[in-house]
Structure formats: structure tokens, C-alpha cells
Amino acid sequence: MNYKDRCNSHSLADGAVTLWLIPYTTLEVSQKADDFLRLFPDINLDEAWEADKSAEPDEAGNYPLLNLEATIAETFILIDTLTKVAEFTFAEDTPLAIRGVADYWRSRNGDIANNWQVFKECLTAEMAAQLYSAFRATRDTTGTIAPEAEGGGDATSPATKSRSKPSPRGKTGQKTN
């Protein structure tokens, strides 16, 4: 499958990092969030999702990390799940913090606990904010189903509506922006 055909791309750090993300929230995001919360129940993802509703980007287009741990965890779940292709073009003077994105990407092994640890080890809070901005920049809202059509709820939460049991996170909805 050629993911680039169905993904939107976003470049970071003057083109040193280019990510191709699926532009809509997939069922896999909800599953990964559930799996993540089983492993790390002390992280309150609701705080990240609630804070995100009112977040506005700064002049550089980066979104604030309103609850650092929860927002970084949310960013991890979204980036680890929705990024399907990553390309890196580093110059000799590319900062190590930017190179950390490549270290994380290349060290992923399919294990959520391992990938979360590597994410935290390789990335700074600033890079996590830039990754979250990449997620926001690649959203496709042209074909989005309105929350009312899906049975109500909030269209800004990354969790999906198609659950057979209540979410351990409380609120559910599909993130579109």
C-alpha cells in the first residue's frame, strides 16, 4: 500500500523532517489509546483532550502543551499511530533535538511500552509540540461527518465513536481539527 497517496504531509525544522499522516482519526487510534491506558493508568488523557479544545497555536504554529504529561502522551498516540511515512534530511548543523525524531522513528518496534519510552527518551517537549502541530496541520475536514450525525458528542477528541463498551477515558468523539 502506498500510504503517501492517502496521507497528508507536513515538514518540520526547515524540511529536516517530513511526516505523512493519515488525515483522519482511525479506529487504530482508539485501540492504541485503550492499550496505552491499560499500561499507564495514571496518565489522564482526558486532561489533554479537554485542554485541546481551546488551544490556539503560537506565532510559529505550535500548539501549547497545557498538561505536559497528558499532551505528550496524546501526541505519542496520534503520531505513533497515524504517521505512516517519515523522511529525514539532515544537514551537518541539524540540531540533535531534531535528530531525536529520527531516532524515535527508527527505534519503534510495535510494542507500546517500548515506543512510549523511546518517544520520551528521544524527544524534547518542543519537538513534541511540533509533532502535535504536524498532526493538526494534516487533518482533513472536508469529508468529516458532523458529530450530530454520529450520535452527538464532541468532534475534537481523538477517541473514536465506534465503541462496543464505554471508554475508560470518559469522553469520546473523533478529532477533526
**What is the pLDDT at residue 2?**
83
Taking 80 as the threshold, does the pLDDT of residue 153 lie above it? no
Contact, 79 vs 27, CB < 8 A?
Answer: no
At 14, which amino acid appears?
Answer: D
Contact, 69 vs 125, CB < 8 A?
Answer: no
Is the pTM for the entire model greater than 0.85? no
Secondary structure tally for the chain: helices H, strands E: 6, 3
pLDDT tens, position by position, 9-47: 999 999 999 999 999 989 999 999 999 999 999 888 876
